[in-house]
Structure 1
Amino acid sequence: MGNDNRWFTSFWSAPGCVFKNIAVMVSIGQGVLLFSVFLVSSLRGLAGQETSDLDIYSFLIKSEVSSHYAITVITSRVANRANESREVDFHVELPKNAFISKFTMTIDGKAYDGVVKKKEEAQQQYSRAVSRGQSAGLVSAVGRKLEEFRTSVTVAALSKVTFTLTYEEMLKRTLGKYKLLIKARPKQLVKHFSIDVRIFEPQGIRFVETQGSLTSNDLASAVNTTQSDREVHVHFSPSLQQQQQCSGCEEKGLSGELLVIYDVNRPKSQGDVQVVNGYFVHYFAPSDLTRIPKNVVFIIDHSGSMRGTKIQQTQEAMMKILGDLHEDDYFSLIKFNSGVTTWMPALVPVNSHNVEAARKFVEGLKARGMTNINKAVLKGVQMLSSFLESEAQGGSASIIILLTDGDPTIGVTDLDQIQVNVKQAIRNRYSLYCLGFGFDVDYNFLERMALENGGLARRIYEDSDAALQLQGFYEEVASPLLLDVRMNYVGVSNVTQTNFSQYYAGSEIVVAGQITDNDLETLTAEVRAKSRDNEVTYREVFPETDSDASRSLDHYIFKSYIQRLWAYLTVQQLLEREVLLSGEQKKASRDRALALSLSYSFVTPLTSMVVTKPEGEDTQVAHKPEEGKKSPGGHFGHPSSQLRMRGGHFGHPSSQLRMYGHQLHSIHHNHAPSAGKMARLMDAGVPVFVTRESLSNTPPPATVTRLMPKSNLLKVLMPAQGQNIPLCFQIEAPQNFAKKLTLKVLSDPISGVSINAEMLKGEDFLRVAVHYKDECHIEANSTGIKVTQEGKERFISWTAYATTESCNGMTLALQREVLEVAAGNMRVDILRHKKSQDSFLWPAIRQQAPIANATGIMGQAPVSYILKETTPVAKLEILGKEVLGTRDSVVDYSTHTKPTVYCWLVPFSSVVLESLQSLIVSQL
């Protein structure tokens, strides 16, 4: 799990890509922005061409921040110095909370602009393009902090193209700081390379500092920072010599980051208000307050799906969090799986004795059983209620923090009913924060439940720093300063959110709106809230921003920046709160968000950008993806489509082999598309079989044998050591194969486990059997599971609420239609999937002993390969032999999300050292 995101980000530069990547990667804003220009050879120049023919001769980033609202413009100029046309692919990964507002390609002096349209209209245009055989879908993928924008264009010989992308975002204050992160990673020397950051804050800048490897000794002279009372200018412009000679730089390109950290002065407790051209924004972040004590209940999921890295990282985070509790806090812990267990019957004060006892409780967490969210949360509410009734705890903040990685599978499992139960129990008295670990959880459900109860939801990404993510979230809510914050204004309308359940130290409340009273010369802002000891009121009258200040603001962004900030914040909040609405209210909210998105040209989940291109080029549509959903155009790289498993990440020793299904689509064109367009089709999630005919009108030589994917055969995926794209192969069934074929999936003499599976029509598994030392036998089919132990049989339904049980040393656990079987160092999951009205099974090895002596389809040792050539077909060196392969796609049935992933399809015999005949068994 720890490397899932790294696997994804490195995919684009993997040896298997047809792209020649001379990328520039940068990171701007609170999320990381990876800006890459991928250069793709054209039809005539796929093999043997030097990337120097395509030169990024100018790369400029200008980020202007005023009052925490950032406008970032990325300009890349690329020259095709070859005597023939080349295709240039423009690829940007920008912060998830940003809205793209403008995109332009300039070719031979003519500008081609992207146009923002209603998503349905853009989708229709996309569908029409697809029906004509065009590659129409821009890859739009949402990740941990990023989402992608990409397009491409053919550049004529000895011509140039300029790409300009603008996006807007409001920086969020966290733990007393605003952060602007710029990560630069060009993979070539860039003659004109600069990153220019200008920050203007009318309140005055309290401090600023720069960090990161780009400020190291080798590059220190390339970073120039100047500061005045209200302005900061950071300019990074390394010379060609510095780009080439700096220590740690990759080849001839930079590799590092520049982090600008700052905060503003806050002389007034009531905050700062700016009024310009009929719009206002109010920044409220008082600091002269006493911290409010917390009453906090931690509710921790330790069901079977938390096994492995998840539970370890949760324990690590909780150890640190328990050490950070304040002495005036009260706390307790609840663990839950099928049942609910409390550490203490009531909340206890924070002291060394209680903290040490709590740590031992956390150390003892073991992952097993099912998931009873309803009972666990209601128990936490009951504990808080009993505590507050028995203790005089006036002026304290009561919060519940729920951590879970899955949907409820026992007890009350209806999500709507759980939501109702929790809301009725809390009754607006406490705040509920829901942390969803990974992507098997229904994040929308957690978000609705949190928002309804004065909290928020946060996804914890399965990565090596998951423990730090948990700790970071707790730090944000560790120090409440105000409760029940209500903000009021006179003579305004269309105001963004004005009621907040808490205000925490180091954060900031931002409210924006329109001035409706044309005669209004001053704006009155009133804030009422509860502090530790009493109720407080902040009241201030603010004059409209004077003309000198307005002109100063215009110098940095533009005259309507407060208006755009208001629109940005309004759309963000409408989209966030939409999960709580239904019926006409939901429609009205969406309509308003859509109208604003179109009016301000924001690419939001309700709109798309249609990228117009020169005549004859394909239409493309850029979508802003939503968390947990695929882009309409299809994509690869969505978190739910990354290679994931409960016991580890793809390529981890605990996941030596995976078996996948397949989903192939034939793409027919009247005219052969270029290699770049074929690559975009594949990278957009459309499986495309690339033959020599696909890339050229010249027939292939007789010596080249193409490996044609077959639509009704089982496909197996193997992790390749040291490569980002794995290998896969198909099982060629014997000629006398009728409908069913029983195969040896794995035989592991070390653990004593053997697995056989019966294939149905070469596509799916109808039955799977697990045998353990002739002492325990399990046979699963689509309706149930038969366990045979010492001659006695027992049956388990897939819908049964089963807990962990033993079978002569082998343990079984059934949860969410996943049967987990474990014996010694061996662990295998058997998943049941739905297919139309039927079901089929899928075995997935999660962990096993050293596999030198293992046999079977999933018993093959992982192999490494050398990718020698990708066109006209892939040539790979495997185990010392040259093998022809094809880039292909498969569906990962080892997880219920069933993502589509890529692989190099190679012959069966090139990676399986046993003959297929030896893998066919007579009985299950």
Structure 2
Amino acid sequence: MMDRAALRLILLGVFLISASSQPVKRKQNVDIYSFYINSTVTSRYATTVITSRVANTVNESQEIQFEVKIPKNAFISKFRMTIEGKIYDGVVKEKQEAQQQYSRAVSRGESAGLIKSVGRTLEDFKTSVTVAALSKVTFELTYEELLKRRLGKYELLINAQPMQPVADFKIDVHIQEKPGISFLEVKGDLSTDDLANAIKTTRADKDAWVTFYPTRDQQTKCKSCGENGLNGDLLITYDVERPNHQGEVMVSNGYFVHYFAPSDVPRIPKNVVFIIDQSGSMYGRKIHQTRLALLKILSDLDEDDHFGLITFDSEVKTWKNELLKATKDNLETAKAFVKEIRDRGATDINAAVLAGVDMINRHPREGTASILILLTDGDPTSGETNKERIMANVKEAIGLKFPLYCLGFGYDVNFDFLTKMSLENGGVARRIYEDSDADLQLQGFYDEVAVPLLTDIQLTYTGGTNLTKTSFSLYFNGSEIVVSGQITDNSVESFTTEVIAVSKGSNVTYHETVMAKDPSDVPPEDEDFMPRLWAYLTVKQILERQVLLKGQEKEDEKKEALKLSLKYQFVTSLTSMVVTKPQEDEVEVADKPEEGGEAPRPPVPGYSQHHFSPSQPGLAYGHSSEPDLHDLRFMIEWSARSAHAAQTCSTCSRDQLSNAHNPTGECRGCSPYYVNSKSS
């Protein structure tokens, strides 16, 4: 039998040859003669419509493909195909019902496929349809999202990759903001010198317009272009004027939305403890990037901040046993400690997090905000390894006194576990992608929580019901709190909001009363956007807290989210969009991927994800990340898995490939990234 090392070399050669081949070129007999992207942003709520008109230019029927990328935070709300004057609309259904329809199509031998994919910032939507000779098809996809404010700005991301130069290509963006627009900037791959004259911006007091009309020639000669046309992003960033520190309240059509982002309060000194995984799986680039990020973060601490550093593998090591002030001398000593962090051993998350909680609890300071930040790339494999017990231990220790933020590093991290642990303790989880800019991702997250302004924020609304989240542990400079709800009595003449919070040890209160508009004074676009914004935010928040709920409460909230998803035709994790094609009622099902699930494996260039995803043979979907040796190692190990499934690990007696060991000997349980050095 061929030994394993030889098999790896052969597979590596096969993949390298495949990686060097060019992607399949577009068919020359298909003409995308029109490609429009139209995005309207009304009070941070963006609705984007992508319309592609395609002609079959040959005298025989052929399959025509439609593939676009949308932001991960968005919900698809409409998909339509128009063929020879007949309209085929996608219909959003409860996921189980949609899957049954899909299964029936498969059983009849029809060409059914699942349309779903997760990228780093974008998701792929891909479908195809057979078009008759010399006929045309129009594809139209609509998606919706509430733009989130980070570091003092909102970002509208639009991806353009039509796969060929298009004679009639247009991107139109209209932003409408009631308080006025304070600044606007256009960035991204498509905002380059060679495309500068294709971009035009127009500003008015409360409106801004951005247009991008590249010529066919420009679509082939710009830096982010090629013979297949444009391939890049247009990133529009902006912020709004904030004349009222109570926030901006809009009331319309029986709904309200409250945007709260005060900047008239002093920053609160913080107590921050960084808990850093230095287990063996962090070897190489991961640990190097972590050190780089920590060195930069330490330099950004303010002198009245206090901080602590904890590293862990199978053992927990503290820089100092107590929180220290961020003086110049202390920071220099801490940086020397960071430079010596090395990967080794197993992963005792339980002991490490509890040590961080204890460090904060032992050094309380009045008028400060405490933050715990955990960075890890794997499962607990040492000490307490039962995840439920770990979460219970951490929740009891923190007691909702301060938030825990969990950063999951890499593709094989247990993100569900980190998400639940964060949410249980008033924080959030963030995936750090294993790319060349991972250190910048870490720094970017820290920047978002670097300047706390308020703690213990409670928002109340007299006459409001069916409210989205109204309680927040911290508000950070550059962010924004958004609350939406319904008004119990739509005939009221005024609507009152109240915000109570703590600012640097003292209570602050914000009151705001707004006049409810007469419906005739409300612009038509506002009539529809307000209930959709409320529904979007409600569904998002219900799905986020599902991991925390149990029993009847979990089922009731799930039913509410499903009801709203169906009413507003949102493709969420509870629903699917069923697309019925003209050819003998072929069926495809579009699903919303979940961030908590397994992240995509970075592919070799020229390969679509389905080449090494056996569960999705029908549809290919790409990924933008460039591969490295880890990526190739994954594909080699994955390909070898089926041939060597019977081999077992001498240490843990489990399948050797699905339970690979890294060079330190640490069990990485089902990680495809690490090769068992002993068996090599």
Work out which of the residue numbers 654, 657, 662 in structure 2 matches 1:820: 662
Q: Gaps (5+ residues) in structure 2?
A: 1-16, 606-610
- Counterpart CA distance in 1 for 2:539 and 2:18 is 32
Superposition pairs of residues 444-455 of structure 1, within 5 angstroms: 444-455=416-427
How many residues were matched structurally? 653
In the alignment, residue 627 of structure 1 is paired with which amino acid?
A: E
TM, length-normalised to structure 1: 0.66
| Higher RCO (CA < 8 A, seq sep 6+) | 2
- Counterpart CA distance in 1 for 2:307 and 2:337 is 13
Question: What residue is the counterpart of 2:4 in the other structure?
Answer: none
- Counterpart CA distance in 1 for 2:88 and 2:534 is 29
- Counterpart CA distance in 1 for 2:228 and 2:412 is 41
In the alignment, residue 166 of structure 2 is paired with which amino acid?
A: V
Change in 2 beyond 3 A, CA 1:420/1:725 = closer
Change in 2 beyond 3 A, CA 1:569/1:352 = same
Question: What residue is the counterpart of 1:319 in the other structure?
Answer: 295
Contact 2:253 2:519 in 1 (8 A): no
Work out which of the residue numbers 82, 90, 103 in structure 1 matches 2:66: 90
Structure with the higher fraction of residues in helix conformation: 2
Question: What residue is the counterpart of 1:372 in the other structure?
Answer: 348
CA-CA distance at 1:447 after TM superposition: 1.3
CA-CA distance at 1:241 after TM superposition: 3.7
Work out which of the residue numbers 259, 263, 279 in structure 1 matches 2:235: 259
Work out which of the residue numbers 435, 445, 449 in structure 2 matches 1:473: 445
Structure with the higher fraction of residues in strand conformation: 1
In the alignment, residue 411 of structure 1 is paired with which amino acid?
A: G
Superposition pairs of residues 166-245 of structure 1, within 5 angstroms: 166-212=142-188, 214-245=190-221
Question: What residue is the counterpart of 1:457 in the other structure?
Answer: 429
- Counterpart CA distance in 2 for 1:533 and 1:126 is 57
Change in 2 beyond 3 A, CA 1:218/1:580 = same
- Counterpart CA distance in 2 for 1:14 and 1:162 is 34
Question: What residue is the counterpart of 1:625 in the other structure?
Answer: 593
- Counterpart CA distance in 1 for 2:455 and 2:294 is 25
* 1:492 counterpart = 2:464: yes
- Counterpart CA distance in 1 for 2:56 and 2:435 is 40
In the alignment, residue 582 of structure 1 is paired with which amino acid?
A: K
Work out which of the residue numbers 77, 82, 92 in structure 2 matches 1:106: 82
Contact 2:219 2:226 in 1 (8 A): no
- Counterpart CA distance in 2 for 1:152 and 1:590 is 32
1:414-443 Cα offsets, whole Å, 9 max, x none, are 111111111111112121111111233221
Question: What residue is the counterpart of 2:391 in the other structure?
Answer: 419
Question: What residue is the counterpart of 2:644 in the other structure?
Answer: 764
Runs of 4+ in 1 over 6 A off after TM superposition: 11-14, 661-665, 722-731, 828-834
Contact 2:409 2:434 in 1 (8 A): yes
Work out which of the residue numbers 618, 624, 633 in structure 2 matches 1:681: 618
CA-CA distance at 1:832 after TM superposition: 7.6
- Counterpart CA distance in 1 for 2:234 and 2:243 is 29
In the alignment, residue 401 of structure 1 is paired with which amino acid?
A: I
* 1:430 counterpart = 2:402: yes
The SS at the match of 1:219 is helix
The SS at the match of 2:34 is strand
In the alignment, residue 105 of structure 1 is paired with which amino acid?
A: M
In the alignment, residue 538 of structure 1 is paired with which amino acid?
A: Y
Contact 1:719 1:726 in 2 (8 A): no
Contact 2:81 2:87 in 1 (8 A): yes
Work out which of the residue numbers 106, 116, 132 in structure 2 matches 1:156: 132
Change in 2 beyond 3 A, CA 1:621/1:196 = same
- Counterpart CA distance in 1 for 2:97 and 2:531 is 27
CA-CA distance at 1:138 after TM superposition: 2.6
- Alpha-carbon RMSD: 3.4
Contact 1:330 1:349 in 2 (8 A): yes
Contact 1:830 1:843 in 2 (8 A): no
Contact 2:146 2:533 in 1 (8 A): yes
The SS at the match of 2:36 is strand
CA-CA distance at 1:214 after TM superposition: 3.9
The SS at the match of 1:259 is strand
Work out which of the residue numbers 527, 534, 537 in structure 2 matches 1:569: 537
- Counterpart CA distance in 2 for 1:92 and 1:81 is 22
1:675-725 Cα offsets, whole Å, 9 max, x none, are xxxx9626389xxxxxxxxxxxxxxxxxxxxxxxxxxxxxxxx999x9999
CA-CA distance at 1:243 after TM superposition: 3.2
- Counterpart CA distance in 1 for 2:18 and 2:472 is 42
Work out which of the residue numbers 566, 572, 579 in structure 2 matches 1:604: 572
Question: What residue is the counterpart of 2:48 in the other structure?
Answer: 72
Work out which of the residue numbers 122, 137, 140 in structure 1 matches 2:113: 137
Change in 2 beyond 3 A, CA 1:320/1:251 = same
The SS at the match of 1:592 is helix
Contact 1:71 1:167 in 2 (8 A): yes
Change in 2 beyond 3 A, CA 1:597/1:726 = closer
- Counterpart CA distance in 2 for 1:358 and 1:250 is 48
Question: What residue is the counterpart of 2:370 in the other structure?
Answer: 398
Work out which of the residue numbers 441, 444, 449 in structure 1 matches 2:413: 441
- Counterpart CA distance in 2 for 1:135 and 1:450 is 42
1:604-630 Cα offsets, whole Å, 9 max, x none, are 00000000211415211111122243x
Comparing 288-297 with 85-94, greater Cα deviation is found at 85-94
Greater Cα radius of gyration, structure 1 or 2: 1
Question: What residue is the counterpart of 1:540 in the other structure?
Answer: 512
- Counterpart CA distance in 2 for 1:155 and 1:830 is 52
Question: What residue is the counterpart of 1:504 in the other structure?
Answer: 476
Change in 2 beyond 3 A, CA 1:821/1:499 = closer
- Counterpart CA distance in 2 for 1:435 and 1:592 is 30
